[in-house]
């Protein structure tokens, strides 16, 4: 559930940035949101690389997870550069990826805080 929330946050932020770019530069044409959505989802498949960290032990788990996150960030940047239109493709892709991953981290941190301090941790819902 957390991974789906993170991916939806990243996708929504990227689509918002590209919608603003499309309004700014291409007023009379239709934005290809399906292509952008596919690019973000395919680039996020690099998260599968985190599975060996779970299977082979936790000796360098945090480092391996950070490397996978960096790989996903760079692959998202490259995928968005390929599918974007117009001038300044790199700048818009970098802006979209930076804002998207920042929003993704904020939502993830908020979600983890909510899970750790929820109403089930105290009172009638407390199990342990």
The pLDDT value recorded for residue 57 is: 64
Alpha-carbon distance 56 to 35, whole Å? 35
Whether 125 shows a pLDDT value over 60: the answer reads no
Residue with tokens 């929003």: 103
| pLDDT tens, position by position, 96-123 | 999 998 998 898 888 878 878 766 565 5
Contact present, 53 and 61 (Cβ < 8 Å) = yes
- In the chain, where the domains are located: 2-105
Output the CA–CA distances (angstroms, integers) from residue 128 to 38, 71, 116, in the order listed: 43, 39, 14
- Give the confidence band of 128 by pLDDT, cuts at 50, 70, 90: very low
| pLDDT tens, position by position, 7-56 | 888 889 988 988 888 888 877 777 788 888 888 888 888 777 767 766 77
Question: CA triplet 118, 120, 124: central angle to 5 degrees?
Answer: 140
Global confidence as pTM: 0.73
Tell me what the mean pLDDT of segment 70-77 comes to: 87
Residue with tokens 């060996």: 52
Alpha-carbon distance 111 to 30, whole Å? 35
Alpha-carbon distance 85 to 68, whole Å? 28
């Amino acid at each position: 559930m957390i991974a789906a929330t993170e991916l939806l946050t990243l996708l929504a932020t990227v689509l918002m940035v590209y919608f603003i770019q499309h309004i700014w530069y291409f007023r009379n044409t239709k934005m290809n949101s399906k292509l952008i959505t596919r690019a973000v989802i395919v680039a996020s498949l690099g998260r599968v690389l985190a599975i060996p960290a779970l299977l082979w032990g936790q000796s360098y788990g945090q480092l391996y997870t950070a490397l996978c996150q960096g790989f996903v960030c760079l692959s998202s940047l490259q995928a968005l550069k390929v599918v974007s239109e117009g001038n300044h493709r790199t700048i818009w892709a970098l802006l979209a990826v930076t804002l998207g991953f920042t929003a993704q981290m904020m939502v993830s941190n908020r979600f983890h805080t909510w899970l750790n301090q929820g109403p089930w941790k105290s009172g009638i819902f407390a199990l342990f």
